[in-house]
Amino acid sequence: MPVQWAGLSPELLLTVDRDSTQRLSAQVEGQLRDAIRTGRLQAGERLPSSRELARELGLSRGLVQDCYAQLQAEGYLVTRVGSATRVAACAQPTEPAPAPPPGPRPRLIADFRHGVPDLTSFPLADWLWATREAARHMPTTDLDYGDPRGSSALREVVAGYLRRVRGAAGDPARTVVCSGYAQGLSLALGALARRGVRVVAYEDPGGPATARAAAETAGLTAVPVPVDEEGVDVRKLAATGTRAVIVTPAHQWPTGVVLAPDRRHALIDWAVRQDAYVIEDDYDAEFRYDREPVGALQGLAADRVISVGTVSKSLAPALRLGWLLCPPALLDPVTDLKRVTDRGSPTLDQLALARLIESGRYDRHLRRMRTTYATRRTVLVDALAAHAPAVRLSGLAAGFHAVAHLPATAHEHTLVGRARTRGVGLYGMSACRTSESAEPPQLVLGFGNVTERAIAEGVAAVADLLDGG
């Protein structure tokens, strides 16, 4: 499908050489002919009007009309009275037909993909309101490149918000806005590399692919550290000799355990003794159900913890907005890396997010989503209890995913494949393990972007597989 250019007349790059011995009309015809043959102009694509093209090239309109008429006669262009001149459908050589796509995949009754919030509940009306308000009050100076750390308005709001709801040591001067978690992690690891860190540890199970890719980009080596029912094993972390670790202390990804109080203090003590840094991924702390909220680790040691947060789970991943709370020693290298990476995140989006948060609409959205996710969690628990009682769930105190512990006889990969043929998307724990082992058999069930009805129907459709069948 060609792009349907809007406007009075689309621009088109053509050049004429008045010093050439070739006639001007021949030059225009030749360039148009080549552009059509090579596909630069697609079949059905609209050309500029003869008046506009003549004006752009400094030629007479009659000359351009003659060129269009010649190409029409050759079959390259089509014109109709009252309509624009377009490239003829038969003007371009046909390419070999692409190989037929694989057979249609079954429509999913339920897709328990993890890490995705309820996209249908994105507060679009509030976001449009916040964008309009931000644009209406934005000073002209904010249209410049600005501070690579981000908009001062958003940094003020985020720092205050994190002090209020996460117990963090939020300081606008040491807050750097980033484009989501991936960039935030890359900035943190790049800054650590500049300070001589060569190895970074990550939780296992966790996100091995993300950690290793970011570490490789920064020139670091990534090593796994085991997680148990109390969180990351700090003794085994110390044995690695690393000076950096990536952790998810409030709701460990993907097991859902909370870093125990003694482990929290042991982790900080390790960082102080080793002149090390902790990268805290505070990814879904807004959504807690069965226990009191857990404060940010950064609040205990702001000089040793780099806290990375985003709105990917609270609002939507597509916004690509996040932040880092930087220790004093890492602020300059993080800021320098942000400057050379992209000169700063989009300012209007930052101002809109700041307006959304300070207006109270962000808190209102979070309250609404806590109720939604809590309801879906209950439906998941009830559906499994009714249809697959042999499956035990854990990690349900927060967030919108759970770990399903399958019977020992279950085979993760086989189960996932068979569930897909029944229209249910299931995802194994093996992808979260460094070893990629499927033992013990577990699933990571995301329920953020699945309706209550789909959860119930999906579990019922694969109940015999989950229950060891």
Name all domains of the chain by residue range, CATH numbers in brackets.
1-95 (1.10.10.10), 110-115+364-466 (3.90.1150.10), 124-359 (3.40.640.10)
At 92-127, the pLDDT tens digits run 666 665 666 665 566 899 999 999 999 999 999 999
Rounded distance, CA 144 to CA 147, Å? 9
User: Which amino acid, 83?
Assistant: S
Residue type, 430: S
pLDDT score recorded for residue 11: 85
Q: Does residue 469 surpass a pLDDT of 60? A: no
Close Cβ partners of 437 (under 8 Å, ≥ 6 residues apart): 430
Predicted TM-score of the model (pTM): 0.89
Q: Where are the beta strands (DSSP E) in 56-173?
A: 77-78, 86-87, 110-111
What three-state secondary structure class fits 401?
Answer: strand
Q: Could you report the per-residue pLDDT of 397-443, keeping only the tens digit for each?
A: 889 999 999 999 999 999 999 999 999 999 999 999 999 999 999 99
**CA–CA separation, 280 and 282 (whole Å):** 6
Phi, psi of 245 (to 5 degrees): -150, 145
Please tell me which residue, 467 or 300, carries the higher pLDDT value.
Answer: 300
pLDDT at 292: 73
pLDDT, tens digit, 9 for 90 and up, residues 33-80: 999 998 889 888 888 889 999 999 999 999 999 999 999 999 999 987
